Amino acid sequence: MLLDAETISLSKLIWDYHQLHHRLKPADVILVLGSHDPRVAERGAELFLQGYAPWLLFSGGFGRLTEGTWTETEAEKFARIAEEMGVPATQILIENQSTNTGENIAFSYQLLKEKQIPLQRLILVQKPYMERRTYATFLKQWPGPEVEIMVTSPQLSFEEYAPDEVYRELVIHVMLGDLQRIKVYPEKGYQAHQEIPAEVWDAFEQLKQKGFTSHLLSTT
């Protein structure tokens, strides 16, 4: 599929919308949500090493893109990356059963409760184009007392994050799927409502017409 200038421009509108640009403050735990992207683990480790929290929790079993491809769970692979970057193993927690964002949240809460780690403020680390959806999901599905949350991701531009055309095309497909879910999942009770500006949804519709539909729900 040709990624012309118009496609890139529309994609960057959606990319920017997905990011929240939260200003980070010291927290009790850094929760890194598992995925196929090791740069998310690196971002979590960087924040720990910068002193943002005393605990680094990796959450993730096998997801759609890692099942059958990786020989270790996302959480275990991410934890190994963090240790190689200098994070002490004693400060790493691993939740390796979850298969989606809702389970990441529920199972991580259960682990923190079992470890009796007090929690008032939490930093969530995710892929750049999943910041907003992670935030909206957490607001709806966190099972414990209310906590302050901040969301961050690898600090990369759209072009830096997906430098080659094949991966960039995949990211566009996934971004559209996430945006669609931000729109329809609140009605299902999965996520908190997030306002979508008209120009962002218009970009979605134009990219959908261009054929970026592989991660869309079948209902639309």
**Whose CA is closest to 109, among 64, 143, 81, 80?**
143
Domain membership of residue 219 (yes or no) is no
Domain membership of residue 218 (yes or no) is no
The Cα–Cα gap between 42 and 27 comes to: 18
> Do 31 and 12 belong to one domain?
no
Share of the chain above pLDDT 90, in %: 89
- Is it the case that residue 100 has pLDDT exceeding 90? no
> Do 26 and 46 belong to one domain?
yes
Domain membership of residue 217 (yes or no) is no
pLDDT at 44: 98
Domain membership of residue 81 (yes or no) is yes
Tell me which of 130, 152, 174 is where a domain ends. 152
- Taking residues 6-29, what's their average pLDDT? 97
**Whose CA is closest to 105, among 154, 140, 150, 63?**
140
Measured in whole angstroms, the distance separating CA 46 from the mean position of its chain's CA atoms is: 16
> Do 11 and 44 belong to one domain?
no
> Do 12 and 88 belong to one domain?
no
> Do 24 and 11 belong to one domain?
no
The secondary structure of 108-158 as a DSSP string is HHHHHHHTT---SEEEEE--GGGHHHHHHHHHHH--SS--EEEEE-----H
pLDDT in tens, 21-56: 999 999 999 999 998 899 999 999 999 999 999 999
The parent domain of residue 190 ranges over 5-16+157-209
The Cα–Cα gap between 180 and 212 comes to: 12
Domain membership of residue 82 (yes or no) is yes
pLDDT in tens, 132-182: 999 999 999 999 999 999 999 999 999 999 999 999 999 999 999 999 999
The Cα–Cα gap between 190 and 7 comes to: 30
Residues 6 or more apart whose CB falls under 8 angstroms from that of 83 comprise 89, 92
> Do 51 and 95 belong to one domain?
yes
**Whose CA is closest to 161, among 48, 4, 49, 12?**
12
Number of domains in the chain: 2
Tell me which of 136, 152, 168 is where a domain ends. 152
Tell me if 60 sits within 8 A of 34, measured CB to CB.
Answer: yes
> Do 141 and 76 belong to one domain?
yes
> Do 50 and 107 belong to one domain?
yes
> Do 147 and 193 belong to one domain?
no
The Cα–Cα gap between 159 and 149 comes to: 28
> Do 43 and 78 belong to one domain?
yes
* Helix (H), strand (E) at residue 209: helix 198-209
| 0.85 exceeded by pTM | yes
> Do 85 and 137 belong to one domain?
yes
**Domain containing residue 85: CATH number:** 3.40.50.620
Confidence class of residue 1 from pLDDT cuts 50, 70 and 90?
Answer: low
Domain membership of residue 134 (yes or no) is yes
> Do 142 and 99 belong to one domain?
yes
Tell me if 118 sits within 8 A of 67, measured CB to CB.
Answer: no
Domain membership of residue 103 (yes or no) is yes
**Whose CA is closest to 121, among 26, 57, 22, 27?**
27
Domain membership of residue 214 (yes or no) is no
